[in-house]
Structure 1
Amino acid sequence: MLNLDNRSATFINAYEKAYKQAISKLLPGYIYNRRAIYTHSKADSNKNSQVSKYDKKSRVHAKVFKVIGYKFNKAGNLYYKLSNGNYVAADNSIANLYYTKLGVSKKYKVISKKWN
């Protein structure tokens, strides 16, 4: 996030509103765990706030979570708020359940010369 120390209150409010709208558009609806993860009761990663552990499984057998919001902790790390009220860190251990169009390329790779 941008350093807002020397900005006016109006600028800060407008910036925060635009920032929250941008994050809300990119917020996934459903996520699954790609690696072993813990859910937390607060938006902090410490042993005291751990609620449940979910082990690494293949995508079809992985635990699916519904995301209803987000929160930043004091260190500035993003956490997704889940429908059960717990939080999970938004890092490489989780991924969007559904494919998005952000990575669509107009180039195609031919993997076989044979057409059926």
Structure 2
Amino acid sequence: MDTLMPLDADGRPLNVLRLRSGGAHTLMVGATSTRNAVAFDPGTRVVSLYATGPCFISFGAADVVAGSADHYFPFGICCDLAIADAHGQGATHIAAVRADTDCRLYVSEKV
């Protein structure tokens, strides 16, 4: 079935989501890896990302670190990404490092 809805980590469409109250994160992205200080809520399965500059991102636990070998994330687009599988297991943090110049990465949890 074709869909424009975001997919979970198992490729299943997620219903339309709303922003989680208290689930907004802003990361100041520079030359060294930084991550969100407060973990994602355990019920969060999708996050929306927007960056003001290009960066590299990585999802994981509280010790996740991003580097230039991680996923490139361009600036100026909004992208929804699944962070949990069908069993609700997933990342609690996102880390980012700049690809070019310092920037901000805005992360919104969705439920």
Q: Same fold (TM over 0.5)?
A: no
More helix by share: 1
Q: Which has the higher contact order (CA 8 A, sep 6+)?
A: 2
Instruction: Give TM-score scaled by structure 2 length.
Output: 0.34
TM-score, normalised via structure 1 length: 0.33
Greater Rg over alpha carbons, structure? 1
